[in-house]
Amino acid sequence: MSVSRLRYAPLHLSRPSTGHLPATPRYPRACIVAKWLQSRNLTTGHHLAREEAIPLRKHLKDEAKRKKTESKALGGSGVAKNQKIDARLKKWELTVGIEIHAELNTACKLFSNAPAEARGVQHAITPNSRVALFDAAIPGTQPAFQVATLLPALRAAIALGCEVQRTSYWDRKHYFHWDQPNGYQITQYYRPFAKDGLLVLRASDGVPASDLNGAETLAIGIKQIQMEQDTAKTTNLGSSMYHIDLNRAGMPLVEIITLPHIHSPQTAAAVVRKIQSILKAVDACVTGLELGGLRADVNVSVRQRGTDGTRASYSGVGGLGQRTEIKNLSSFKAVEDAIIAERDRQIDLLEGGGVIAGETRGWTLGATETTRLRGKEGEVDYRYMPDADLHPLVIGKDLVEHLRQRLPALPGEVEAELEQSYGLTQKDAKTFLDLDDGDRVDYLEAAVAHTLSKLGKSLGSNEYENQRKVGKLAGNWILHELGGLLATQQRSWADMAVTSQDIGDIVALLHEKQITMRVAKQILADLFERESITETSTVEQLVNAGNLRLRPLTEHEYEELAQGIIDDSPDMVKAVKGKGQKGKIMWFVGQMVRRGEEGTVEPEKAKKVVERLIGSVEVS
């Protein structure tokens, strides 16, 4: 069999012929224990692998909890109370650089045409079933660069503002581990395909005010982006048994290396979060931390403010302290917590007269300290050398320009569009982007378009203001009312049967004052309980069937209803008139809505009537 044929042949291992057994090809047998566990819906992953599968919703909840705790800790000066107490943070400066490994969205592996393993559905794929001969390091096989893997990598580089290099080269990074069949990893350490990028963050991304230092944005430099192979997957079964699944071996990755421009754990988490959202937006990486398609390593160092530290220099940034690296962080919270723990460990050690060792450390979710894994390897340890089996990677400018012109809108651009064209607050716009991989943005756009087409000229001639007005109302319903139902019922966005047209109909009826807010919420709850999106009950049908259309009371009927409640509630009247508790007005409005017939009381009009009548009441 020729070498060119070996590059693409499916994996099979043969054994020599004996007198008893024929010389037939033998395909790798799936792990028996893995199949047994999978048949019983049990995972075969090591506990570290299981930590990777953290739902995005949990990431967001963790972020919300952190921000809430942080806001409670803020003093009158805007500085966290715990920072006032811990004077060490004024004495010591933290510096962080991040390396992000992201799995590219491709159909094949980097140097073979074996199918790429779909992240998130690995449990449904038989171990060692997607392996070419080169992935298993069978002697005599050679790598064949798969050009299709370059496209998502280029989209990532362009989106992150990098300069795509005309010519880049492949290096071998040598180290021995059972998950590395060749004994080396093919990467682009010295001459990567993209360099000198820039990531721009805002306060809405989670950057603390102390890092912004009065500016609206914070720029984090990206040193380079390189393509490289992933390793095989190791499954720990007991204290001394491991299974190796080569399905992941050779999967195409990009490694994104930031400059050490980060000076707080919160900003570090914001950088990872922003890069993940950009990669997803341009379809370079379809899954993130929550499904293990993205992993982060952080380099942490501290130095006394106003000094040169150990005079260490990394990526052209000098005067830093000795760094340590924390590997394979699997969530935004893990990034933040691990940096805090390592920062505090280094400060304790230095203040005790110790010296920071250059080493690789690990982090376990829920821990309070990082743990030493090994001494930090350098270029000499890895024995980098050019890969003699691969030609240089040459990228044409026309390809880069073609991709640049067709690049989807980036998260920052979408966020700005939601604020400017749809009237959303910065916080709501950011939430729309974060939830459900941005699916709610498309849902909002469809709902607004439906509402505008339904209302037509009744909105007025200013199309821009019409869209902002409708967008803000629809945004509130999607984010808060519909989101509240999803949260209370613990259902996912994908399982929800309320269509964008349903929301558009509700918003249109509210704008035309054909239904009350209370009726609108009732209709939404009814729609939410539908079994599927194919059920035919529309908003109009529910309104007509329940006789829910607004039938406004006359002015006299409003006054009569309000006066009866005022006469029955002298203590509440005294609270409003005598004690100045103006908020109690809404109690009267609520009582009017409850006592009035369904679909007859408009809260805004009821409030005006109550305020007028109470204003004329004499309180003794």
Domain assignment present for 173: yes
Domain assignment present for 56: yes
- Tokens found for residue 539: 């908003």
* pTM across the whole model: 0.73
Cα(331)–Cα(366) distance, integer angstroms:
12
Give the chain's mean pLDDT.
83
**166 and 249 housed in the same domain:** yes
- 228 residue type, one letter: E
What is the percent of the chain with per-residue pLDDT over 70, rounded to a whole number? 82
Instruction: Specify the range with the lowest mean pLDDT, choosing from 10-14, 195-199, 386-390.
Output: 10-14
Judge contact between 150 and 395, C-beta under 8 A.
yes
Judge contact between 332 and 59, C-beta under 8 A.
yes
Confidence of residue 33 (pLDDT cuts 50, 70, 90): very low
Domain assignment present for 54: yes
Number of domains in the chain: 3
Confidence of residue 574 (pLDDT cuts 50, 70, 90): confident
Cα(507)–Cα(455) distance, integer angstroms:
10
* Per-residue pLDDT tens digits for 40-89: 444 433 333 333 344 445 555 666 666 666 555 544 444 444 544 467 88
Please report where in the chains the tokens 């959303």 appear, as a residue.
424
Confidence of residue 575 (pLDDT cuts 50, 70, 90): confident
Structural domain range at position 528: 409-545
In this predicted model, which residue has the larger pLDDT, 38 or 396?
A: 396
- 416 residue type, one letter: A
Task: Determine the pLDDT at residue 290.
Answer: 62
Q: CB-based contacts of 331: which residues, under 8 Å, 6+ apart?
A: 51, 54, 59, 62, 289, 290, 365
Please identify, among 545, 573, 588, the residue that sits at the C-terminal boundary of a domain: 545
- 378 residue type, one letter: G
* Per-residue pLDDT tens digits for 189-237: 999 999 999 999 999 899 999 999 999 999 999 999 999 999 998 888 8
**60 and 116 housed in the same domain:** yes
Instruction: Answer whether residue 505 shows pLDDT above 80.
Output: yes
**292 and 432 housed in the same domain:** no
Task: Determine the pLDDT at residue 121.
Answer: 55
What is the percent of the chain with per-residue pLDDT over 90, rounded to a whole number? 48
Domain assignment present for 3: no
**457 and 315 housed in the same domain:** no
**442 and 344 housed in the same domain:** no
**302 and 379 housed in the same domain:** yes
Judge contact between 156 and 279, C-beta under 8 A.
yes
**482 and 609 housed in the same domain:** no
Task: Determine the pLDDT at residue 67.
Answer: 60
